[in-house]
């Protein structure tokens, strides 16, 4: 097999990159270890920045999102038992879209297959070779065990944190930054009436809680917990009891209950690995960076990565200009570190840290009080939440 760009991973990064390349007339093949039902059913949160929404709309992927997604014009910070609304549109003129990551994946897969795209599901024993030369290639086996070789001009590693592409970059040239937080999120999906139409980020002495929604009938709720918490210790009654304690308060907010049909515990970490390029291998999405979900930046950073990468590859194939490819890692890193800063700040602002002193806890509440009483502070939060403007490459 021969293609221009070999893409490893059929998550949002790999699939969107394949679609963007197709629109630019560049061939690609996507290799994915899992089968299609698994990929499309892999539930992930989905708060889409304005820039991400624009990319999906501009590339013909936004029809179902615009029909079924939930447009949020703001969000709520809640502390000391009271709500404080942050109006994104008033502060920035922008909004966010709540639309599940797995729904985005479904939309892109459907479009790629409609366009004749080559997605090889259940690809096993994938390995990359000669990435520092001019003729890189990928070895893999199909679902029947037959071996294949994919020759390509470039390889895009969109295969996530546990993938094989990042380890293919020599450790001697790679800088890794990581912070593991001393807590996780216990998340549930429930068939219950939403308490309001926008997210509630809640600071509480018992720990952080988050109210979100997937539809007018489905709510998504989170509780701060130990990172190694056994979900078996959390029957439904205990979860609802704890959510009531953390989210309800003196302002008469009441949380409706309903059947819980999914629950699990997600550890929290910040991670960055760079550079995101070695020879003709480029990393994108979770293969290069992970953010805690507090700032809702994960998929949005992946979209920004492949937007930059697709344009750099287009410059190379159309004009034989490699300058954008050379600058790919640097331009991505500037956005990644701004997103890491915001996610770290939101996490620090809203969560309970056992090692903090009583003084530090009061400072945390004072900062929350400052944020919701200062238009400048609210604007800073809103600008970062709805998404900073894309930096255009020279």
Q: What angle do CA 280, 174, 332 make, to 5 degrees?
A: 65
Q: What is the DSSP string of 13-73?
A: HHHHHHHHHHHTT--EEEE-SS-HHHHHH-----EE-HHHHHHHHHTT--HHHHHHSEEES
The four Cα atoms 272, 273, 274, 280 give a dihedral, to 10 degrees, of: -130
Question: With contact defined as beta carbons under 8 Å apart, do 317 and 3 qualify?
Answer: no
Rounded to 10°, the helix 375-386/358-373 angle is: 90
Supply 95's token pair.
């909004």
Nearest to 192, CA basis, from 248, 130, 261: 261
CA atoms within 13 A on the CB side of 392: 1
Across the chain, where does the E strand assignment appear?
5-8, 28-31, 47-48, 70-72, 74-79, 82-87, 96-98, 118-120, 124-129, 137-141, 147-151, 154-157, 175-191, 200-202, 209-213, 218-225, 260-274, 277-278, 281-283, 289-290
What residues contact 368, with CB distance under 8 A and at least 6 apart?
77, 79, 203, 349
Of these residues, 19, 22, 72, 204, which one is catalytic?
Answer: 72
Is 12 tagged catalytic? no
99 vs 317: CA distance, rounded Å: 33
Of these residues, 194, 292, 293, 308, which one is catalytic?
Answer: 293
198 vs 372: CA distance, rounded Å: 16
74 vs 91: CA distance, rounded Å: 9
Give the other-Cβ count within 10 Å of 291's Cβ: 26
Of these residues, 99, 181, 201, 222, which one is catalytic?
Answer: 201
Is 72 tagged catalytic? yes
Instruction: For 41, list phi and psi in degrees, rounded to 5.
Output: -100, 5
Nearest to 285, CA basis, from 174, 175, 166, 130: 166
Is 385 tagged catalytic? yes
For residue 129, what are the β-bridge partners?
Answer: 137
Of these residues, 297, 308, 328, 351, which one is catalytic?
Answer: 297
Catalytic machinery residues = 72, 201, 293, 297, 385
């Amino acid at each position: 097999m021969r293609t221009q760009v070999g893409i490893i991973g059929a998550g949002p990064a790999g699939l969107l990159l394949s679609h963007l390349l197709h629109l630019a007339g560049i061939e690609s093949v996507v290799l994915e270890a899992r089968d299609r039902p698994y990929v499309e059913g892999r539930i992930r949160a989905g708060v889409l920045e304005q820039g991400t929404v624009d990319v999906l709309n501009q590339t013909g992927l936004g029809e179902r999102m615009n029909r079924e997604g939930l447009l949020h014009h703001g969000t709520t910070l809640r502390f000391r038992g009271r709500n404080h609304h942050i109006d994104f549109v008033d502060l920035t003129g922008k909004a966010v879209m709540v639309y599940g990551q797995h729904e985005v994946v479904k939309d892109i897969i459907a479009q790629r297959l409609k366009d004749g795209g080559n997605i090889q599901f259940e690809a096993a024993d994938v390995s990359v070779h000669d990435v520092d030369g001019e003729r890189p290639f990928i070895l893999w086996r199909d679902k029947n065990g037959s071996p294949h070789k994919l020759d390509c001009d470039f390889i895009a590693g969109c295969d996530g944190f546990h993938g094989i592409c990042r380890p293919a970059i020599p450790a001697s040239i790679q800088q890794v930054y990581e912070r593991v937080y001393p807590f996780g999120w216990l998340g549930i999906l429930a068939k219950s009436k939403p308490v309001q139409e926008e997210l509630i980020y809640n600071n509480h002495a018992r720990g952080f809680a988050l109210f979100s929604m997937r539809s007018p009938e489905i709510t998504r709720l989170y509780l701060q917990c130990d990172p190694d918490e056994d979900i078996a210790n959390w029957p439904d009654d205990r979860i609802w009891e704890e959510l009531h304690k953390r989210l309800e308060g003196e302002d008469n907010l009441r949380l409706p209950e309903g059947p819980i049909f999914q629950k699990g515990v997600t550890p929290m970490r910040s991670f960055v690995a760079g550079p995101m390029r070695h020879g003709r291998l480029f990393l994108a999405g979770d293969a290069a960076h992970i953010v805690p979900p507090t700032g809702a930046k994960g998929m949005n950073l992946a979209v920004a990565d492949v937007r930059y990468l697709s344009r750099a590859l287009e410059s190379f194939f159309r004009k034989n200009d490699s300058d954008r490819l050379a600058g790919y890692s640097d331009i991505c890193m500037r956005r990644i570190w701004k997103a890491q800063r915001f996610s770290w700040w939101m996490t620090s602002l809203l969560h309970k840290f056992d090692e903090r002193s009583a003084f530090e806890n009061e400072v945390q509440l004072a900062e929350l009080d400052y944020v919701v009483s200062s238009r400048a502070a609210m604007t800073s939060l809103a600008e970062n939440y709805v998404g900073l403007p894309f930096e255009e490459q020279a």
